[in-house]
Structures are given as C-alpha cells and as structure tokens.
Structure 1
C-alpha cells in the first residue's frame, strides 16, 4: 500500500518529472527538505545529469532500489504544494482520458511562473531606529548632511515608508541610507506586496451593486434555492442553469458564491473569454470584498507576477474565489465547494493544443472529486449538456424571462440576395442596418456590429485568369490587411506585400474579395462620419489590457459603435446598447462540421442578446443569404426548444455526439503519400485489435488539408464511451512504429474539425 506520510527513517518519495518521463521515479529526501516536503510539492531533482523539475506524487515507493543507490532530490521549489490532493487525482484522470503526456498535463496545471521558482514581490520599508544624541546629530549635519536630512525626515514619521520612494523624492543615494542602518539609527524591513490583477475593476458603477442589492425574480429565486439545496446536500451534482440572455444568471451565481464563502468554501468561476474576466471579477469583488473575501483572477494574459501572486493567495488559503478563463479550472483552490462554468456551450473551453482538454468537462469531473456542485450556465446550452439533462445525469433550472420585465430584442431578417438586386451596389451593410445605425447615433444610443472574420478582405483574386493569392505553406487564401497593405495567413503567420497586378497574367484588374472587420469599420465610418467607432479583434488587441480599456470606454459612452469578432459576441453587458447587427450571420453554417447548425444558432442568439439590456428596447438586424435555414429561423423566433428537438433528432439519426463519443485522430507530414501509407498500416492494426469496440470512418483529408507545409489526413472513431477505448488506443499507438516524419495526434471529444 502507498504511504501517505513521509517516513523520516527512509525518507523516500516518488516524483513525476516535468521533462518527458512517463512514470514516477524514486528519490531520497535530504534532511534539509523533510520539514517542508508535502504531497504535491514541486521539487528539483537530478535526472539525465541535469537538474529537472518534478512533482511529488507519493511518499514511499514499491520500486526495488538497492540500498544507497537512490539519488537525493535537490530542493523544494515552492513553499506550498503545487497540486492539491484533488488536483493529483485530476492529473491522473486527465492524462488518461485526453491521451496526454504527464509533462503536458503538469505544465498546464502548474503556471510557468511557479515552475520557475518565482518568489513574492517585496518592497523595502525604512523606519526610525535608536534616537541619536544631540552631539551625534550635529556631527552628521557637518560630515554627512544628506544622512542628517533623511534621519530628521524619518524621525518625524509615524509609520514605515518605502525606501525607494524616499530616496527618489529627497534625491539621496542608497549608501546614505545604508550608513544610517549600519549605525542603528534606521531600521529596514522587507514587506511582501501582492500584484492584484484588475484591482481597478471595483469602480463606482460596480459599487452600486453592494448598496442596492437586486431583488430576485421568481425564476431567479427558484434557481438560487435549488442550487442552495444542492450545496447543502454536500454531494456531487451538476445543475444546468438555462436562462435567456439578460435574465440575470450572474446574480444567481453571486448568490451561490455568497453562500459558499460564508461557510468557508472555495469557488472557481470560469468564463469563456479573457475579455469577460474584468467585468465578471468586478461584480464578484463588489459583492465579496466588503465581507473580507479575497478574489483573484487567473488567465494567460496576466503577467507572471500577477499569476504567481494569484497562485500563492489560493495555495496558502488566503483567497477562496478565483475568476478566470479555461486554465483556472486547475487553480489550487482550498475546500472547493462550487464550480461555475458560464456560457458552458462555448468551444473556447476546449484547448486545441496538447493537452486537448475541455474546461467544462474537467470542471464537472473536479466537482465530482470534491463532492461539490457544478453549475453550467448558458442561454444556449450545448446539446451534450441537454442530453445529460434528458438522461437524468444533470438537473436543470430555467429562467425564461429577462429581469425587470425587459423584452427580448426585436429581430429583423435581411435577405442579402434581394438587397443586392434592389440596390446599385452590393454593400455589405444593408440599407435597413445603415438606417438603424444612423438612428441610434442620433439618439445617443450605442450599437454593436459582429462579423466573425478579421482583416480587410478575405482574398485577392484575378477575374481574368482566376489567380487567388494563397499561402505557400497552407491550403487557404491569404487575408488582406489594410493597415499595412500586407497579405497574411492566419494559420502560419506568413505575410507578403499585396500585389498591385496579377502575378500570373499581369492584369491590373486584380480585386479584393470578401469581408473582414477592417473593411466593415471603413464602411461604417462613411455612414457615421462623426461617430467614434472602434474595432475589436485579434489583430487590434495586440497590447496587454487594451481590450479592457476599449470595453471600459464603451461602457462609459466614449465609443458609439463597436465592430468585432467572437470576443464581443457573448456575456458582455452594456445597458446603452440598443442595436446589434450581424453582418454575415450564416458564415458559420457553411463549414465542414456536424456542429455547424448548433454553432450558428448559438452565435445568433448570443450576439442578439447584447441588445436591449437596459431601460430601452433593443433591436437586432440579421443579414444572411440563407434566411430560410432552420438555425436562423429558430434563432429569429428565440425558439430554443424547437431547435433542440430538430437538431437532436438529426444527431440521433446519424449517431453523432451526444449519442456517441467522437475521437479524432489526425496524421500530418510533408509527404502526403507517406502519411497515407502509415494511416493504412494503422487501420490494419485497428481491424485486428479494436474490432467491434469502435466505428472507424476515414481516412479523409482534413478540411484544411495543408498547414505549414504539412499535409493533414484524419480518422474519426465513434464509441459509446471514450474512457473505455482510449487506453487501448493509446497502448496500440505506442507499440505502432511510424516514420518520424509523420506526426499524429489524438483528440478526444474534439470541438474543432478543421
């Protein structure tokens, strides 16, 4: 049996290295480390004649090691364990379920700043020491007037002051201060200072939440009571909070959080986009800070110092609540009692690089490990979650009305095919949308335009010879960016100057085709020349915290119209927005993905929900070339039940998720013939070893067949349970010999089919 405490006679531990080893190694613990070492500690170990990092998974070992042959670990890197007991179990599960290496999982769970051994930020303060005699002070004034000046200043202060600030203000060198410290006239102390992300989010607007607590609607109150009952039961449960946009789901979350922290429990609150973190953390802090509850932020856009301080606050038990994006699901929260996954349907919860985990599903499993409650919230829940409700695995709470009796926005559907026939030109902004934009600007109301495509034009082509400016390394057209006149590939980053004439036939008729957010920004600026228009997409958000500034400016009315992509499509709450326009609403419908209809429906409903969240009624203009497509019609009528029934029936007919699990196996390499050869050999192995355990479809070229000069082919595996087949698949793959020029990856429950 594995030991659960360190035996000081033997002092042996098993450590999993972060450098690629797939099994734990035994190490002896030197006496200097025995007092600080714990399960889950990050340690430095000797490995391959180098110093490497590892995590202590176990006290003691079953490994047979000759006496005196065990190597000693070097040091304990951090004062607190980097993996709590539940995170250690989560690590083992995620490694197996997502077919990931221990290294990939651990590096995701443990932030880089922690692995680097970062220490707290300290600030040196100086205060008065022993009092100088009159003679000593006179001597200082004669021989060292600067020392005398700083000594007199400090003697007048009531509390210690920052050393650096004083030296800078008085223009005195550090040596003068050091001399006074050496003589005992001054004392120096180092004090830790926490780097608090979004400290300024607790502004006047959010402070109102503390003073004027909202009165819950009947539906909100019922949801709160149901979640409270689940928390009180102290058993694992998952509740789907299905509330229409603007129904006050966040207020339900806040009530649940208050109950948990009042009882000393911990909370993880996940949001799908970094852009939503400032708004969310502001509301949580406004509700909890007055109670002395510390809330931290956790996502990849933080500085290493901010990330370290957030980790330390949670690991030490100083903070009990964390708000963050996908990776916050691994935050070391103590006594975890509540997991909240807002906008649970969002594909951004799925990581596309190894380890390819889904933050929502990991949250559910972590809640299971802690016997806690997981609340999944959305106005457009995923079909997987709805299917779990149907099967009785999840409970559901529904909020079908907006707060304060606000109406859902009025939706206008514009057929862009008719628009092109009736007008003099094919403008991407319909006359209906243009007129409403002008009307809102004149009324001093705000608008949002959504287009899920950045850049100025999606392609450059020649109508004379058919030439298309494509990436040399990827099988997609390059996107033209007006700001610098360059063509860019959004997959590999390749860029080059946009041609003025066709490189093939030298025609000067070469044209820019398609739409991007830059082009929409230009067109709307001509419609509203006096308006303040800002674009928000991956190209414009290159500077840290720029998205925070833009959203804050929009909130306080400095911006009239926001043009953006996915990052403005969900969760944002701006009461003065009364018009939302979806420029190319059916773009997501025409992709090779069985979830295309679901994604389109969700996107339209979510973007539409940004309108009419204040006192004034909202409107939405949906521009489409396929107005009769079922997802668009269901979204237009806000008919979620109708869409769910139709889409689930189609999925059931083809036995697609959620009725079976899907595993995607992607093969890539520079030589397509070699890639196909190894796929065929692998299929023979599957036929022999996995017959009847899964359905195999393919091979077929991936929708984007080439990226970075590598050709891509895929297999799809369908199985009733991914966990029952993934172990054997991985074992077979490890035994299968494949050319090093062919790379493959296994993606369990994929969200991206490209």
Structure 2
C-alpha cells in the first residue's frame, strides 16, 4: 500500500516479534521519524517501542487503530544506519527484536531519562528603599539573600547559594514571586572521565612524536583509504610497543578535521581511561568533543553521552563493544583496538561480535574500519589472505626499543627440587626483589581470580563443588567462603570434609588472591594491588588504581585479563606469567591461539620506556608450540602451524561455526528432542552444513540445568542461519527445553 505518514509500524520493547500499527496524533507528527522511541498503548498498559517505518501493509479495520501516546526522546534512537544495522544483527545472530533493541538502545534512554539541569538565580528588578526596609523588618533572610545576589556579576547555582548562606528555599521563592530575583535552568552534561587527561586536570595538547618509517607508511596507507572514500577494512598488525595508538590518532585527526565521526573500540573497560585521555588530549584543545561509552557508566553519564552524539555535539566516542551502536553522525572511521580479543563477543543474546559488527557498520556507512593488534585473530589474517582486508605492518618498537627478554621457567623442575610449595619460582622472586630495589615496577598475571581453585579432601578425594553447577567452587580468602563463579552460589568454607569428616581438607590450585599473599611475603615493604573482577566492584576504581600505578604509587600490580593488554606504563620492566599454560588445557580449538596471544600481549607490557624489559613465563609444559613461538616472538611460525592444523580439520577460519545449545532440568528429555531436531536438520540442510553432536557441553550443568550442544559447520553462516531459524520456528520443542543459537562462537564451554 501507499506510505501513509498518519500510520506507523512500531516494534514493542516488551517481547513482541511482530510490528504493530498505530495512528500518529497531530501533536507528534512534526517530531516523529523512523527510529524514534515512542510510548504506545499495549494490552491496557503503556509500553515503549521503536518506529520501524511509516505506513503499514497490515489490514486495519476503520476506527480500530490505536493512537501512540508520545515521542519519548527528541532524537531518533535508531538513525538510518543503525536501523539497517538492527535488521542485520537480528538476522545474522538469530536474535529477537527485543534483545537487539535493548542492546542497541541504552537503558537510560529507554527509560526516558532527561538531561540534568541546574537552577540559577540572578537579580531582576531593583527594590526601592521602602521595599528594602520592609524586607529588613519582616523577612531579614530574604533581605540578606537579595543583597548578596545583587553584588554578583553572573548567575549563581541556587542550591549552592542557599546551602552556603543557610537560607531556606522558601525565602528564595518569595523573592522570585516578588520579582526581585529571576530563576533560570541550564542543562549540564555529565562527562565521564572528564579529568582523565594524565595527572593534570586541564586539557593539555598531547606531545607529538616523530613517526617511525613503518608508522608513517601505515598512516599514509590509511589516509589514502580515507581520502578515496567508500568502504574498506585494514588490519594494522604492529608488535607490542610499536605505536599503533599514534597511527590511530593520526587517522582520527584527519577524519574529524573533515567533519566526520569516529568510533574507537577497546576490549576492556580498564583500557578506556587511558585511551580517552590520549584522544581528548589530542582533540579537545581544538574544540572536538569526545565521549565515553561502556557499561560501568552511570545512567546519567550514558544518557548525556548518547545525547551529545545524537545531537551532533560530539563526534568521537571511545568505549567497549557496545559503543559500536553509538549514534555517531556522519560516521567515517571505526577503530577496533586489540581486535583479536574474545571480550568483543557478547555472551548473552544478541550474541554479536563487536569487531564483526564494526566492519558491517563501516560497510553501511561507506567508512573505513581499522582492526589493530599485535596478535591478530586467524579470522582477520585469513581475510587479509583473501584480499578482503588490506594490511599495514609495524614490526619494530618505537625508538628501536628491543622486545623484552623472555625467561622460560619449567615449574616441573621447581617441584622436583622441593620448591613446588610456592607458586612463585626462585628466579621470578629474585627478579621482583631486584626491580623493587631499583624503584622499577612489575606486573604479575594469573588468569584465575580467588585464593585457590578448589578445596580437596586428600583422604577421600572429595572436591567441594557447586550443588547447582558441574564445577568446583573457588575459595576466597577475603570472606572465607567458597564461591561458584557461574551461578553466584556461595557458602562458608568447611573445616571438615562433608563426605568423610576428615579435618585434612586442603586448598588446591592458584588464584590472584593467593599470588598477592605470596608476593607480599617476598616484598613486605612493597605497595601491591590486585586487579580482578572481585576487587574492581566500585565505580571508577579501575581509573584510580591505574592512575596510581602510572604515577608510581604502586610497585606491583597483580591481576587477570584486565591487565593483560593495551596498558602502557613506561616504568614497568618486569612481567611475570604465573601459570602461563592454563589456557592450553581447555576444550577449545582456539586454545593454542589464545595461549600464544595471551603470552605475547602480557609480555608486551614490559620494557615500554627507556629501560629494557624482561618477562618470566612459568609453565609446566615449556615445549608446547604456542609457548615456544611466543617466547621467540615468532608470529609467522605460529601462524603457519596453527593455520595448517585448522585447515586439516576444516575449522574456522576456513568454515563458519554455529553452536546450538540446549538446556533444561531433565537430561533425558533434552536428549530426545535434540535427536529429533538433528534428524530434521540433516534431512533438510544436510547438503549445506556438517552437523557434529549432540554431546554434553564441557560444563555439563549450570544452575541446575543440564546442557547439550550441536555444532554446525558451513562455508557461509549468513546463508544457512535463515533456513536453520525457519526450521526451528516450525519445530515443536518441549517447553522445558530451552535452546539458543550462537553464530561464530568464542566460548566453547
């Protein structure tokens, strides 16, 4: 039918998969657009929805069409490019409209949050002598306030003045009513990390560094892609400490100077302050507004960042993976730093990958996308090989700094020599003491939070496991409890074995808390801080600790993944990987790649200043190929070996992988329905995909639900996900069996 601007189709945010038609009231006609957030009547309630289009193909009986209530936000929450992205994410990741919209639209926006305002008071008409005398007698506080305000040269915040002068609000209201004072309201933006500009509290232009020959070649290559216009993706492969950020900043400056918008993604919230500081120091002295975007912001900060971008006031956003959905106008450049990081993949629906969404959004906007890493993912390198991506390589550190010297410690020998009681080898302990005495800083990395991995009874072999999940519970020294990191279950650590009542129960395995304790005994005078998910519960604690470390208030940082990459501290000359091969021993075809990347990235935190750096890798499998390749910084060697193995088994990147997970409380019921489903898929799609499974998931039970999985291998995920979804819609699954589809999964557990 012909498009009718008096009717709109709206997708509700309350779980409806089908768009609903509504009439547009005359009061909303001027402010309504495709992508607008609106309030609609639905099932006798008021709900929120997003306008998908004007007009409708639905047959609506005359007079039966309900009218929408209001437009909630002054700007569309999904401008045209994000509307196209919404449809793509829905289809490719097989997600519900509600899940995609809730991911793309911040909760503060969906709740109709408004801008923060501050009320100011200023003198209005001048009182006559008689009026002032009357105030002195009848309302001395009013007279005092009026005299003070009339002495000021500019409006003052109402709340601050009343608090300072200890005068009630009614006294101020009385003067306003009499016309002696006038009140105004001004919007105030809540700017996250406003002071994150180094140690200074003011904007200081960042010191420019002369580009190396390799950096300059990369800058020129990217500049040519931007000047050419249109869509392109370039992989920036630069070793740790090679100055990739300087290349990014040159590209950002060029795009902003031409009036374009920029999205700059980082893999961890912990990296945002450092990156924001550098971007703002480079841009804001020129009046370019940069905003921050990630889940740790307050609702007000997120709202103001969204409004600044949606209104065109800000042109640059720095943030974690969700920033890929920020409403940047005239988007011309997207940067994905540390593009190999699995943290770009969201584990809840929609299970999107921030890197891949960034590439597709660049395509929609005919923009340039830069993927940067010292250890690129095999998927990105395969796209370079197929000529889908361009590539720029920086193989040397800035100022010709050497890569850190790497020491490999075989912990099996430490155990045989009777030193196995300590998780810190004698070599690493001596080097930590040496760095402390030289007033240099160190980082210790262990990818396991808590004090110990589990509690074990040596008499009967019982392991304290979660009653709801098939996983041992982790002991935490801080509260004396054992915790399940999957379901959140916690209980006091037992003094006796619940099975045999033995009192010989022991702590087994390592956690960051234990490493912190051990190192504190080695360096009793050192200032040691731990950074992991347990210790970083307070807002902005990341910023405080990293800033303290940067200015030398902390001697040694102990942490997990959040300190493994991207951080740049020139005084760090020693990095220790306590249990470097932990990531090798998991059921994941990417285990070798992840281990290699992790060792190289963590090692890269050392020796980034004027002093040479060293790295100690502690492992029980020193001859494992990923560890040996990482030790020698042999990226090409690792790449050739790993790609050959992937090619042999036809794993990604040579084919796409889709994971189909089924869960429920009755394993027999799950097995039955999964087997019926496999027969259907095999019959309908057997020529297009290879099916493996069903099999129990590596973590077989979580929150009292058993888990089984299937794997679908296909040359193209986009070509088979639609048929799989259509088959699933027609398949009658038992209500007690829940299934989910994960396209291009990163988590195999």
> So what's the TM-score if we normalise by structure 2?
0.99
Matching of residue 226 in structure 1 with residue 221 in structure 2: yes
Which SS does the other structure have where 2:600 is aligned?
helix
Matching of residue 62 in structure 1 with residue 95 in structure 2: no
Contact 1:206 1:282 in 2 (8 A): no
State which of 613, 625, 639 in structure 2 corresponds to 1:644: 639
Give, in angstroms, the shift of residue 207 of structure 1. 7.5
Distance 1:691 1:388 in 2: 27
Distance 1:231 1:637 in 2: 36
> Which residues of 2 match residues 236-385 of structure 1 at below 5 A?
236-385=231-380
State which of 664, 673, 679 in structure 2 corresponds to 1:669: 664
Distance 2:124 2:497 in 1: 79
2:691 aligned partner: 696
> Which residues of 2 match residues 344-743 of structure 1 at below 5 A?
344-743=339-738
Distance 2:638 2:17 in 1: 45
Q: 1:416 to 1:211 in 2, by over 3 A?
A: closer
Distance 2:261 2:112 in 1: 25
Distance 1:282 1:85 in 2: 31
Q: Deviations over 1:15-68 (max 9, x none)?
A: 111111112111110011111111110001111221111111111222222222
Q: Deviations over 1:196-238 (max 9, x none)?
A: 0000102346979725311111111111111111011111000
Distance 1:212 1:381 in 2: 29
2:170 aligned partner: 175
Distance 1:696 1:135 in 2: 93
Matching of residue 142 in structure 1 with residue 142 in structure 2: no
2:149 aligned partner: 154
Q: 1:425 to 1:727 in 2, by over 3 A?
A: closer
Contact 1:580 1:621 in 2 (8 A): yes
State which of 10, 29, 40 in structure 1 corresponds to 2:35: 40
Give, in angstroms, the shift of residue 495 of structure 1. 0.9
- Could you tell me which runs of 5 or more consecutive residues in structure 1 were left unpaired when the two chains were aligned: none
Give, in angstroms, the shift of residue 69 of structure 1. 1.7
Which SS does the other structure have where 1:666 is aligned?
strand
Give, in angstroms, the shift of residue 476 of structure 1. 0.7
Contact 1:207 1:286 in 2 (8 A): no
The 4+ residue runs of structure 1 with deviation greater than 6 A are: 205-209
Contact 1:301 1:544 in 2 (8 A): yes
Give, in angstroms, the shift of residue 2 of structure 1. 7.0
Give, in angstroms, the shift of residue 426 of structure 1. 3.1
Distance 1:724 1:670 in 2: 33
How many residue pairs end up in the alignment? 749
Distance 1:490 1:736 in 2: 34
Contact 2:206 2:281 in 1 (8 A): no
Q: 1:209 to 1:595 in 2, by over 3 A?
A: farther
Give, in angstroms, the shift of residue 357 of structure 1. 0.3
Q: Deviations over 1:497-533 (max 9, x none)?
A: 1111211112121111100001000000000000011
Which SS does the other structure have where 1:35 is aligned?
helix
- Could you tell me which runs of 5 or more consecutive residues in structure 2 were left unpaired when the two chains were aligned: none
Give, in angstroms, the shift of residue 429 of structure 1. 0.4
Q: Deviations over 1:382-414 (max 9, x none)?
A: 000000000000000000111111111000000
Distance 1:195 1:492 in 2: 34
Which SS does the other structure have where 1:184 is aligned?
coil
Distance 1:125 1:719 in 2: 63
Which SS does the other structure have where 1:448 is aligned?
strand
Distance 1:292 1:487 in 2: 51
Distance 1:452 1:645 in 2: 27
Contact 1:457 1:481 in 2 (8 A): yes
Distance 1:288 1:81 in 2: 27
Contact 1:90 1:366 in 2 (8 A): yes
Which SS does the other structure have where 1:210 is aligned?
coil
Distance 1:246 1:203 in 2: 19
Q: 1:522 to 1:211 in 2, by over 3 A?
A: closer
Q: Deviations over 1:255-288 (max 9, x none)?
A: 0000011111000000000000010000000000
